Every structure is written in C-alpha cells, then in structure tokens.
Structure 1
Amino acid sequence: MTRHASCRCGQLTAACEGEPVRISVCHCLACQRRSGSPFAEQARFPADKVQVAGKSKQWVRAADSGRAVIYHFCPDCGSTVWYQGGPMPEAIAVPVGAFADPNFPPPRFSVWEERKHPWVAVLGDEVEHSD
C-alpha cells in the first residue's frame, strides 16, 4: 500500500510505502504551534519507504529532547509535509492531515500529555500515554 500526502497547493508531495512504524499524537508546545491546533498527529515511516517530490524549504530546531528536527515545508503555501529527527531520526514523519484521509489508522501513542489541553482526550484501549 502506498499513501500519498501533499501540501495544500499540491506542489510538495510524499509517497509513503507500507504501514507506518509509529502513529502518534504530540501535545508539546512546538507541535501545537506547527500544527495550529492543540496537538499534532504524525505518522512515521522508514526513510527508505518515503519518496518526496517538489520544492521545499527547511527549518531546523532543537526539540525539547535536545535533538535536531528538520522540517520541510512548501515554499508556496507553507504546509509542513514531512520532517526528520527528534525521537526517531531514522524515520520520516508526515503530519497525518497531509494525507487528507479520514480512514487513516488512529494513533497508538500520545506524548507530552503534561501540555495537553484539559478538554482533549485521546481515546482507545491500545493508546499508550506518556508525560
């Protein structure tokens, strides 16, 4: 199976082969700012299973862990389509919203919950929660 993600204007794309190795929801302040939402959901795939096409700009920041994270976004519409680094540097993370697929599998991990908005609940018996 290949899943296709893209920016809002469609210029920057990522084709992700196979199943994600991790689907998570992050409540850290940086993810809140990146997504414009109280949390961000991302799917990570092995780097060799992701084919990126189109122009991108990148921005690097140090995560709360101290590791570098490199974000790749469309220079035309500004959407982040993929990033690499942080807790799984060998994988490429794609924001789940970039797939525009309401049937995308649910997250199995919810992290940085000490920064979670009190009205947010990540449901599911198989979800691992961490602070």
Structure 2
Amino acid sequence: MPLSGHCLCKAVTYTVDQDAPLITAYDHCDDCQRQSGSTYSLVAVVLKDKLTINGPIKKWTGKGSSGNDVHRLFCSDCGSPIAHDPDAAPEIIALKAGTLSTEIKQTLKPDTEIWTVSKLPFCQEHLEKPFKHMPE
C-alpha cells in the first residue's frame, strides 16, 4: 500500500510510491523543534522521486548544519508542516509523520533518533543507539 497523507485542512495531499518509509526518526534538531512547536519532530524519510504533492505548498529555505540549504514545505492555507527537503541528501525527503494517513501513522515504528546533541534536557532518548547528528 503506498504511503499517503494530508495537511490539517486537507488542501495539501500527497502520495508516496513506497510501502514504508526508509527510516522513521525522532529528529531533535533545533529547527525541527521550532517548526513543530514541540520537543522534536517525528519524520518518515522517503525517496523524493517517489513523492507526489498536490495543493498549495509554500517553501521556506534555511541553512542546515551541513551549510547546505534545507527547504521546509508547508501548506499555504493552514500552515501545517509537510516535509523538509535537505540539499545535503538530494535523493530523500523527510515527511512530517503526523501528516501521514491515520491508518499508516498508527503502524509506524520509529527506528532512528537523530540530532540528540540538540535534545532538550528533559526529553528521554527513545532508542538504544541515537545519533548525535545525522547518520553517515
């Protein structure tokens, strides 16, 4: 079953021609904390060429820790974050897992924890082998 999801107002929808994410990660980076308004962002990493997005998307571009641009995609109507697209890894895109269809996100099993160097001190690590930065 392909992955699918939508923003809060359903103006933006997407499908991914993959049955499962490449990784599902707790992302503790400061930018994800700010974009999500929470302690981390749960992301589902997929192949960018398998993703189709429909609807009114806006993009904000900032610098990632690599010095390369990271494009943050969000619904221009309701503001829901949809994904972040790092130039440092052009073949992948990180969907905000909370936007996945309900039946899909209920079966997610996070397998990676990244940017724990930015993890807030009151957050417990979720997995045994977290990455201080991005995995190589």
**Bin of the TM-score, shorter chain as denominator length:** 0.7 to 0.9
**Structure 1 length-normalised TM:** 0.87
Aligned equivalent of 1:111: 114
Structure 2 counterparts to residues 21-60 of structure 1, below 5 A: 21-60=22-61
When normalised by structure 2's length, the TM-score is 0.85
Q: How many angstroms apart in 2 are the aligned matches of 1:89 and 1:23?
A: 18
**5+ long unaligned stretches in structure 2:** none
SS at match of 1:129: coil
1:33 match: secondary structure:
helix
* Structure 1: tracts of 5 or more residues without a match: none
User: Partner residue of 1:94?
Assistant: 95
Amino-acid identity (%): 29
Q: How many residue pairs were aligned? A: 129
Q: Is the 8 A contact 2:28 2:39 kept in 1?
A: yes
Tell whether the 8 Å contact from 2:57 to 2:73 is kept in structure 1 after alignment. Answer: yes
Query: Alpha-carbon deviation of 1:87?
Result: 4.8
Deviating above 6 A after TM superposition, structure 1's stretches of 4 or more consecutive aligned residues are none
Secondary structure of the corresponding residue to residue 72 of structure 2: strand
- Alpha-carbon distance change, 103 to 87 in structure 1, aligned in 2, over 3 angstroms: farther
